[in-house]
Structure 1
Amino acid sequence: MTLQDIEGAASSYPTVCAPIDEVDQDIVRDCAREVDVYDFFSGCGGTSAGLKRAGLSPLIAVDFDEGALGTYAHNFPEATPILRDIRGLGTDELEVHFERDRKRPILFSACAPCQPFSKQNRQKSPTDARASLLGHLGRFIERFRPELLLVENVPGIQKGAEQGPLASLTDLLDELGYHHNAGIIWAHHYGVPQSRRRLVLVASLFGPIDLPLATHGTRDMPVRTVRDAIAQLPPLEAGRSDPEVPNHQAANLTPINMARIRASRPGGSWADWPDALRLPCHSEVEGYTDVYGRMAWNRPSPALTTRCISYSNGRFGHPEQNRAISIREAAALQTFEDDFEFVGNLASMAKQIGNAVPVRLAEALGLTFLHHVREHLRVLNGQA
């Protein structure tokens, strides 16, 4: 599997389908809680939240980030959080969490930290230990043989030599008899008001499995925008929080950055500022126009990062108000529900949100798995 193979498939990938909210509810009813989810690299729970919306059951969450796992435990009391680094976790330590006689299919979700492969990481290192995380996941796949597998990451994870982490994983899946499919997709095609490009791999022991059809991006179902996601939230000042809305808290701004955001227009950049507000580097280099920018109301947001509430670290300024987006607004752009609460300090919560899989994207993938399981059961029952 090469970058050209995947991008070629993505270029012809269908982008039209009925909205999630209007289809597949029969699948949710028929298959509800019939697939158990073991969420590796769970973070705060974006993947689990989406899979749960689709009708799957999160049972286990493994992550080494204490703050993120605290948020996960707060929102998924039915699941067991395991605060461990997968690199030091033995397969025997998870034995107790698996039934001797499996009654339901198991889905392993593995959305490992993307920073080693991200375009935002300009100091990539081939020795970054995080790059081997999928290799460690392979130990658990080989031991427990989950019927289903989901991997989500930045497209850069599959670049480089055939010995890269994704190629090694697909080689293992081939050896173990899995059917798998991978492609590069955009989150805004699945109801996420954010331009977030991701590589997704789905795998199954049951048979060939497809990626989900897009649900948004047509005249009848346009992509969702920043306005759709956050316009209903009450106004907020920089450095303040709203006592009535959980996590509606914005970072403070220095006086110079307050002057800069007042001089910024939606969708614009630092090029709109008077010379007195510009940084010395602005006259020395071209590009970096997304930093110190405001979002535009009528477009999806840029991809959120782990510093998504920092005005100076991207186009994370509110479209109208003189501040960066709040924790609640960042969560809404990642399509977390309003009642999903984050715990920790501002930096920790921003990191949790930036690292999360968008909930509506995970929901679309969850519905794809339920389609797949239902079709497999029909074949076994002689109904196909």
Structure 2
Amino acid sequence: MKVIDFFSGCGGASEGLRQAGLDITIGLDFDKKAAETYQANFSEALFYNVDIKELNEKELAKAFKAKNKNKEPLLLVACAPCQPFSTQNKAKSEDDIRRTLLDETHRFIAELEPEYILIENVPGLQNIDKDKEGPYKRFIEFLNNQNYKFIEFIAKSEEYGVPQRRKRFVLLASKFGQMPIPSKTHGEGLLPIVTVRDFIGSFPAIKAGEIHSDDLWHRCPTLNERNLERIRNTPEGGDRRHWPGHLINECHKKHSGHMDTYGRMSWDKPAPTLTTRCYSYSNGRFGHPDTTQHRAISVREASRLQTFPKNFIFKGSVVEASRQIGNAVPCEMAKQFGLSILKHYEEVKK
């Protein structure tokens, strides 16, 4: 089965689908550094580093046809940027042009007629425009008009083998009838939930600001003296509630929420949701769980908590690589979705 990955970012979905046995054929993303990362890891794929609005669907279809001489089935992946729909984005606006990116997929779907479609985004995307015309409502109407059957569900990444609590809205559409929700692999009665320790416990110790000689991405930013004192006073799984009063920001003394900021992870639990600022100790519970290491998790550790392979290549600065990681679809979750799609295809073709 072939894959076209729209809004691919650095390739989290593509990596998982490749591990499931699918053929990554075409990728597309507007972000220059994410495009460089993608191309470094998927040399087999044709890549378009363009705004989707400027790409002609007939041009892409012609290129895909040239790479699909055996006429194998196609999975079209479209994980459009989630920031316009995220509850964490307090500045979101209906004027945000990213809201309309899902609309751009219509002409490509109509031209390519993929057998399968995978959409992944933040929970709430399906409710944003429930009572009025909006991108998701238009997409559903389009799928119905194109005779797709689809399912919608909320996926918890830890139930698919990812050491991270991350809820995502998923839509799976097929020309061959409605698919079942992909089977969970971890949790009660299944494999044990994987943890931070399982994925980063073997990394060598480094200090804040240090780059490990064996892996240039096993690195993390420096911390100022105040933040060093804060993290030294933070136990595993702890946060500012464990600090002496003089270390607490004035704005936090009267505010009981956002306890994840300046927190340390727990070794034997999944990590919290990684964001685009997962390199920053002050922006979430991104402090390393080892109380002898007074630092945020490294870029490589963050990538492992998104289940990227240890040898995955990243391009750009620490800030750029962390943004790519935080925006990515967890590879292991995408792999399980890919296996479920392949299983469905094998069953309908019997």
1:158, 1:164 within 8 Å by CA — same for their partners in 2? no
SS of 2:332 mapped into structure 1: helix
Does structure 2 conserve the Cα–Cα contact (< 8 Å) formed by 1:157 and 1:165?
no
1:62-211 equivalence runs, <5 A: 62-99=28-65, 103-162=71-130, 163-211=133-181
TM-fit CA distance, 1:311: 0.4
| Partner residue of 1:336 out of 308, 315, 321 | 308
Spell out, residue by residue over 1:276-334, the C-alpha distance to the aligned partner (whole angstroms, 9 max, x if none): 11111012222011101000111100000000010000000000110000011000000
Share of identical aligned residues, percent? 47
Instruction: Structure 1: give runs of 5+ residues left out of the alignment.
Output: 1-34, 379-384
Shift of 1:188: 0.2
The 10-residue stretch of structure 1 (278-287 or 187-196) with the greater mean CA deviation from structure 2: 278-287
Residue 255 (1) aligns with residue 221 (2): no
2:210 counterpart of 1:240: yes
Task: Say which of 229, 247, 252 aligns to 2:199.
Answer: 229
- Report the more deviating stretch, 115-124 or 157-166: 157-166
Query: In 2, are the aligned partners of 1:158 and 1:165 still within 8 Å (CA)?
Result: no
Q: Deviations over 1:139-188 (max 9, x none)?
A: 21112111110000001211133323222211100000011111011000
Q: Is the contact made by 2:211 and 2:218 (CA closer than 8 Å) also made in structure 1?
A: yes
Distance 2:26 2:64 in 1: 10
Q: Residue 36 of structure 1 contacts residue 59 of structure 1 at CA under 8 Å; is this kept in 2?
A: yes
Aligned AA for 1:331? S
Alpha-carbon distance in structure 1 between the residues aligned to 2:193 and 2:3: 29
Instruction: Determine the structure 2 residue equivalent to 1:280.
Output: 250
Whether 2:265 is the aligned partner of 1:292: answer: no
Letter of the structure 1 residue corresponding to residue 318 of structure 2: L
Other structure's SS at 1:155 match: coil
Q: Which residue of 1 aligns with 2:332?
A: 360
CA gap 1:235/1:50 in 2 versus in 1, 3 angstroms: same
CA contact (8 A) 2:26 2:64 kept: no
Count residues with an aligned counterpart: 344
| AA in 2 matched with 1:45 | G
TM-score of the two chains, using structure 2 as the length reference: 0.95
Residues 102 and 137 of structure 1: CA distance in aligned 2, closer, same or farther (over 3 Å): farther
1:221-248 Cα shifts (integer Å, max 9, x gaps): 1110111110011101111111113511
Mapped pair 1:346 → 2:318: yes
Pairwise CA distance, 1:219: 5.2
Q: Secondary structure at the match of 1:224?
A: coil
Structure 2 distance, partners of 1:149, 1:246, is 36
Deviating beyond 6 angstroms after TM superposition, the runs of 4 or more aligned structure 1 residues are none
Aligned-CA RMSD value: 1.3
| In structure 1, distance between residues paired with 2:57 and 2:190 | 48
SS of 2:13's equivalent in the other structure is helix
Q: Is the 8 A contact 1:117 1:157 kept in 2?
A: yes
